[in-house]
Amino acid sequence: GLFMRKLWCCLLLIGYSSAYASLGELSNSVDIEAKNLSAQILTSQINDKYLIKSINDKNGQIKEYINTSTNKVFAVIWATKRIPNMKVLLGNYYEDFSKAKQSSYGLTSGANSSNNLVSNYGGVQGHFFGRVVLTPEMPEGISLGDLQ
Protein backbone atom coordinates (compact mmCIF):
# COMPACT_ATOMS: atom_id res chain seq x y z
CA GLY A 1 0.00 0.00 0.00
CA LEU A 2 1.05 3.49 0.88
CA PHE A 3 4.14 2.36 2.83
CA MET A 4 5.48 0.39 -0.14
CA ARG A 5 4.93 3.32 -2.52
CA LYS A 6 6.83 5.64 -0.16
CA LEU A 7 9.61 3.10 0.23
CA TRP A 8 9.83 2.66 -3.55
CA CYS A 9 10.03 6.44 -4.05
CA CYS A 10 12.82 6.70 -1.46
CA LEU A 11 14.75 3.91 -3.15
CA LEU A 12 14.35 5.60 -6.53
CA LEU A 13 15.65 8.88 -5.12
CA ILE A 14 18.61 7.14 -3.51
CA GLY A 15 19.38 5.36 -6.77
CA TYR A 16 18.87 8.54 -8.78
CA SER A 17 21.25 10.40 -6.50
CA SER A 18 23.92 7.73 -6.69
CA ALA A 19 23.96 7.82 -10.48
CA TYR A 20 26.33 10.79 -10.37
CA ALA A 21 29.82 11.50 -9.15
CA SER A 22 30.05 14.73 -7.18
CA LEU A 23 32.09 17.75 -8.23
CA GLY A 24 35.73 17.38 -7.21
CA GLU A 25 35.38 13.66 -6.44
CA LEU A 26 36.57 10.66 -8.38
CA SER A 27 34.38 9.64 -11.25
CA ASN A 28 32.54 6.46 -10.37
CA SER A 29 31.06 3.76 -12.53
CA VAL A 30 27.34 4.36 -12.75
CA ASP A 31 26.23 2.04 -15.53
CA ILE A 32 24.35 -0.34 -13.21
CA GLU A 33 22.49 2.50 -11.48
CA ALA A 34 21.70 4.07 -14.84
CA LYS A 35 20.11 0.86 -16.10
CA ASN A 36 17.99 0.61 -12.95
CA LEU A 37 16.76 4.17 -13.49
CA SER A 38 16.18 3.90 -17.23
CA ALA A 39 18.96 6.42 -17.69
CA GLN A 40 21.51 6.22 -20.45
CA ILE A 41 25.19 7.02 -19.97
CA LEU A 42 27.31 8.16 -22.87
CA THR A 43 31.03 8.77 -22.46
CA SER A 44 32.89 10.93 -24.94
CA GLN A 45 36.66 11.32 -24.92
CA ILE A 46 37.10 14.91 -26.07
CA ASN A 47 40.88 14.95 -26.03
CA ASP A 48 43.67 13.56 -23.85
CA LYS A 49 42.84 16.09 -21.10
CA TYR A 50 39.18 15.39 -20.34
CA LEU A 51 36.16 13.29 -21.13
CA ILE A 52 32.45 13.94 -20.77
CA LYS A 53 30.04 11.52 -19.13
CA SER A 54 26.49 12.40 -20.23
CA ILE A 55 23.66 11.02 -18.10
CA ASN A 56 20.35 11.13 -19.96
CA ASP A 57 16.92 10.27 -18.59
CA LYS A 58 13.34 11.51 -18.86
CA ASN A 59 14.26 14.59 -16.78
CA GLY A 60 16.98 15.74 -19.18
CA GLN A 61 20.74 15.62 -19.39
CA ILE A 62 23.55 16.10 -16.88
CA LYS A 63 27.14 16.20 -18.14
CA GLU A 64 30.10 15.50 -15.90
CA TYR A 65 33.46 16.73 -17.16
CA ILE A 66 36.24 14.46 -15.93
CA ASN A 67 39.94 15.34 -15.84
CA THR A 68 41.65 12.27 -17.34
CA SER A 69 44.87 12.74 -15.36
CA THR A 70 43.14 12.83 -11.94
CA ASN A 71 39.85 11.04 -12.80
CA LYS A 72 38.06 13.82 -10.89
CA VAL A 73 34.89 15.64 -11.93
CA PHE A 74 35.85 19.26 -12.56
CA ALA A 75 32.60 20.55 -14.05
CA VAL A 76 28.90 19.73 -14.09
CA ILE A 77 26.49 21.06 -16.72
CA TRP A 78 22.75 20.37 -16.79
CA ALA A 79 19.70 20.95 -18.97
CA THR A 80 16.73 19.39 -17.18
CA LYS A 81 13.00 19.67 -16.60
CA ARG A 82 13.50 19.87 -12.83
CA ILE A 83 16.35 21.39 -10.86
CA PRO A 84 18.76 18.52 -10.17
CA ASN A 85 19.75 17.57 -6.64
CA MET A 86 22.53 20.10 -6.22
CA LYS A 87 23.76 18.57 -2.95
CA VAL A 88 24.51 15.36 -4.83
CA LEU A 89 25.99 17.02 -7.92
CA LEU A 90 28.20 19.43 -6.03
CA GLY A 91 29.08 17.30 -3.01
CA ASN A 92 31.54 19.14 -0.76
CA TYR A 93 31.16 22.31 -2.86
CA TYR A 94 27.40 22.64 -2.34
CA GLU A 95 27.84 25.07 0.58
CA ASP A 96 30.10 27.37 -1.46
CA PHE A 97 27.63 27.31 -4.35
CA SER A 98 24.69 27.91 -2.01
CA LYS A 99 26.35 30.92 -0.34
CA ALA A 100 27.26 32.44 -3.69
CA LYS A 101 23.74 31.80 -4.99
CA GLN A 102 22.24 33.81 -2.13
CA SER A 103 24.02 36.88 -3.45
CA SER A 104 22.85 36.37 -7.05
CA TYR A 105 20.29 38.49 -8.84
CA GLY A 106 17.39 36.07 -9.08
CA LEU A 107 15.67 33.13 -7.48
CA THR A 108 16.34 30.79 -10.37
CA SER A 109 19.12 32.53 -12.27
CA GLY A 110 22.54 33.84 -11.51
CA ALA A 111 26.23 33.90 -12.25
CA ASN A 112 28.84 33.65 -9.53
CA SER A 113 32.57 33.31 -9.23
CA SER A 114 34.71 32.54 -6.20
CA ASN A 115 38.27 31.34 -5.65
CA ASN A 116 37.33 27.79 -6.65
CA LEU A 117 33.90 27.82 -8.31
CA VAL A 118 32.44 29.49 -11.38
CA SER A 119 28.71 29.01 -11.85
CA ASN A 120 26.00 30.09 -14.27
CA TYR A 121 22.42 28.89 -13.97
CA GLY A 122 18.86 29.77 -14.83
CA GLY A 123 15.53 28.48 -15.92
CA VAL A 124 11.79 28.57 -15.90
CA GLN A 125 9.24 25.95 -14.95
CA GLY A 126 10.04 22.81 -16.96
CA HIS A 127 13.44 23.97 -18.28
CA PHE A 128 16.48 24.50 -16.04
CA PHE A 129 20.09 24.81 -17.09
CA GLY A 130 23.38 25.54 -15.49
CA ARG A 131 27.09 25.02 -15.16
CA VAL A 132 29.36 24.77 -12.13
CA VAL A 133 33.12 24.52 -12.67
CA LEU A 134 35.73 23.70 -10.05
CA THR A 135 38.56 25.73 -11.57
CA PRO A 136 41.51 24.24 -9.61
CA GLU A 137 40.64 20.78 -11.02
CA MET A 138 40.44 21.95 -14.65
CA PRO A 139 43.09 20.43 -16.91
CA GLU A 140 45.78 22.82 -18.11
CA GLY A 141 45.05 24.41 -21.45
CA ILE A 142 41.24 24.17 -21.06
CA SER A 143 39.15 27.36 -20.83
CA LEU A 144 35.64 27.88 -19.49
CA GLY A 145 34.54 28.47 -23.10
CA ASP A 146 35.52 24.88 -23.96
CA LEU A 147 32.85 23.54 -21.59
CA GLN A 148 29.52 23.47 -23.41
Q: Integer distance in angstroms from the first to the last C-alpha of the chain?
A: 44
Q: According to the model, what pLDDT value does residue 125 have?
A: 87
Q: Check residues 75 and 12 and name the one with the higher pLDDT.
A: 75
Q: According to the model, what pLDDT value does residue 74 have?
A: 94
Q: Which class for 17: exposed (0-12), middle (13-18), buried (19 or more C-beta within 10 A)?
A: middle
Q: According to the model, what pLDDT value does residue 35 have?
A: 53
Q: According to the model, what pLDDT value does residue 65 have?
A: 94
Mean pLDDT for the stretch of residues 107-135: 83
99: confidence class by pLDDT, cuts 50, 70, 90: confident
Residue 105 clears pLDDT 60, i.e. is over it: no
Distance CA 101, CA 95 (A): 10
Mean pLDDT for the stretch of residues 32-50: 74
